């Protein structure tokens, strides 16, 4: 019973993060929200017992891909050039 509550709460925050990442105007904020989304998914995998998947999600999803997103965002400008 307790475990189900962890699932429900984490899933709710995951959905909030996903909607936030779409709606937020600032691209840097959106990439950080995606990182938070990945990390919460990692917690969900770990709760479900898929520790290998959780590990991959933590390293690839929350770690490196957030860095890639931030690196890409740094090459954008506030307004389009054309």
Partner 1 sequence: MKILGWLTVLMCGALLIFNVSEFPDMGDANSPANSKQNLSEYFLKKAYHDTKVPNVVTAVLADYRGYDTMYETAVIFSAGLACFFLLRIFRKKGPKSRFYRHTPTGVTLRIDEGGKLPEESDVFKRIDSIWIPHDNIVRITCRLVVPFIQIFALYVIAHGHYSPGGGFQGGVLLGASIILIAVSNNLRAGIQRMSEKGAALMGSAGVLIYAGTAALCLLLGSQFLNYNALAKLLHIKPVVARYNGILIVEIGVALAVMAVMVWIYYNLSSAGKHDEGL
Gap between the Cα atoms of 54 and 42, Å rounded? 5
Does position 12 interact with partner 1 (CB under 8 A)? The reply is no
The rounded Cα 8 to chain-centroid distance in angstroms is 17
- Site size for partner 1, by CB under 8 A? 16
CB neighbour list of residue 39: distance below 8 Å, 6 or more residues apart: 57, 58, 61, 62
Q: Which of 75, 77, 79, 82 touches partner 1 (CB under 8 A)?
A: 75
Shortest distance in whole angstroms from residue 69 CB to partner 1:
9
Q: Which residues bind partner 1 (CB under 8 A)?
A: 51-52, 54-56, 59-60, 63-64, 67-68, 70-72, 74-75
């Amino acid at each position: 019973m307790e475990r189900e509550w962890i699932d429900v709460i984490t899933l709710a925050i995951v959905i909030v993060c996903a909607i936030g990442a779409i709606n937020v105007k600032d691209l840097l904020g959106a990439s950080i929200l995606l990182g938070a989304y990945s990390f919460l998914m990692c917690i969900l995998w770990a709760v479900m017992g898929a520790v290998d998947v959780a590990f991959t999600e933590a390293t690839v999803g929350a770690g490196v891909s957030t860095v890639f997103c931030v690196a890409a965002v740094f090459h954008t400008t506030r307004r389009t050039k054309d």
